[in-house]
Copies of this chain bind each other. A is one copy, B any other.
Amino acid sequence: MNILVTGAAGFLGRRLIEALLQRGSLTDRAGKSRPIGQIVAFDMVELTGIDDPRVKVVYGDIADPEVVQRLIDANTDSIFHLAAVVSSQAEGDFELGMRINFTATQAMLEHIRKLGTRPKWVMTSSVAVFGGELPERVGDDHVWSPKSSYGTQKAMSDLLLADYSRRAYVDGRSLRMPTIVVRPGKPNMAASSFASGIIREPLNGEQSVCPVPLDTRLWLMSPAQAIGNLIHGHELSAEQLTQGRVINMPGLSITVEQMIEALRQTAGAEVAGRIRMERNPAIERIVGSWPGNFYATYSQDLGFTADENFTDVIEQYRNEYLPG
């Protein structure tokens, strides 16, 4: 199997590559398990620390058609397309967001259509495609009404992927990911960045700002679940995808207050005391437009899984990223 991973230097990309290398094989278009021969790890920022002869690191701009031509050829069996500009950044820089989150996806799909090889394609979409008046729990048949350019670009990419799959140009699966928590490292320009920050920074002995009210309800997934679901999404056969190629992932529905309480219970009051409440209207507007709970019936029927409780999510971060 020849695999392309875009956004490979990102947090999910890197973990996915490590998981694929450890797994060693994937199911091909014909339903046959085959060893992974090569992973092309593509990004525009530096990717270090992965030392495996099966990995070839390539740098470039995913929205450049010439780059796309070189990246994907008739030998490409599967693509994990994770490259994206995050929500607040896409809101602040409209052209950049459109270019990376939509135009690049379209260029890749067009190139694949012309190749005629119908590779498997797994892409991350987002709960940001939803917005406006929402029921308490959003069902699989709820309208997409994004209140951000990021959500719009993801929804457009979802529609495009579904049509290219329907026409058998590609064998696509778009996974609507919850907010991934706890991300390691530094805050980023995702509007939801705080959701990791309010756990990560206190555990690292640092102060953290929570920009949304305590009763804000979020739909979360841990990094380990996300990687497991990305690979599961790849392994499903086209025949199993009876309700379409765009799949709302299962998740954990929890309020910010419950997240902080779980932190207090696992790490103590001093750690939880490092969170300062300071509302940010711009972040509140974007995050507040996302659903906090779903009936993700289709994905559960397909065998995708969710975290059972937030305490385990915190423990996952501590075990993987904190010494001792």
The answer to whether A159 and B143 have CB atoms under 8 Å apart is no
CA distance A132 to B140 in the complex (A): 12
Supposing A152-B160, A156-B159, A160-B156 touch, asked if A143 and B140 sit within 8 A by C-beta, the answer is yes
Is A320 engaged at the interface, CB distance under 8 Å to the other chain? no
Query: Of the candidates B132, B143, B167, B243, which one forms a contact with A149 in the assembled complex, judged by CB atoms under 8 Å apart?
Result: B167
The answer to whether A143 and B142 have CB atoms under 8 Å apart is yes
Minimal beta-carbon separation of A299 from chain B (angstroms): 14
Is A163 engaged at the interface, CB distance under 8 Å to the other chain? yes
The answer to whether A159 and B163 have CB atoms under 8 Å apart is no
Identical chains bound together, number: 2
The answer to whether A159 and B144 have CB atoms under 8 Å apart is yes
The answer to whether A243 and B156 have CB atoms under 8 Å apart is no
Chain A, interface size category, equals 20 to 34
The answer to whether A152 and B146 have CB atoms under 8 Å apart is no
Is A10 engaged at the interface, CB distance under 8 Å to the other chain? no
The answer to whether B152 and A163 have CB atoms under 8 Å apart is yes
Residues of B within 8 A of A146 (CB): 159, 162-163
Is A51 engaged at the interface, CB distance under 8 Å to the other chain? no
Is A321 engaged at the interface, CB distance under 8 Å to the other chain? no
The answer to whether A144 and B147 have CB atoms under 8 Å apart is no
The answer to whether A167 and B94 have CB atoms under 8 Å apart is yes
Is A155 engaged at the interface, CB distance under 8 Å to the other chain? yes
Query: Of the candidates B113, B141, B155, B162, which one forms a contact with A159 in the assembled complex, judged by CB atoms under 8 Å apart?
Result: B155
Residues of B within 8 A of A143 (CB): 140-144
Residues 232-252 of chain A, each 1 if its beta carbon lies under 8 Å from chain B, else 0: 000000000001100000000
Minimum CB distance partner of A103 in chain B: B106
Residues of B within 8 A of A166 (CB): 147
Is A145 engaged at the interface, CB distance under 8 Å to the other chain? yes
Is A136 engaged at the interface, CB distance under 8 Å to the other chain? no
Is A133 engaged at the interface, CB distance under 8 Å to the other chain? yes
Residues of B within 8 A of A145 (CB): 162, 244
Residues of B within 8 A of A159 (CB): 144, 146, 152, 155-156, 159
Residues 206-249 of chain A, each 1 if its beta carbon lies under 8 Å from chain B, else 0: 00000000000000000000000000000000000001100000
28 contacts between A and B (CB under 8 A): A94-B113, A94-B167, A132-B243, A132-B244, A133-B141, A133-B243, A140-B143, A141-B142, A141-B143, A142-B142, A142-B143, A143-B143, A143-B144, A144-B159, A145-B162, A145-B244, A146-B159, A146-B162, A147-B166, A149-B167, A152-B159, A152-B160, A152-B162, A152-B163, A156-B156, A156-B159, A156-B160, A159-B159
Across the A-B interface, the 5 shortest Cβ-Cβ residue pairs: A152-B163, A141-B143, A156-B156, A152-B159, A156-B159
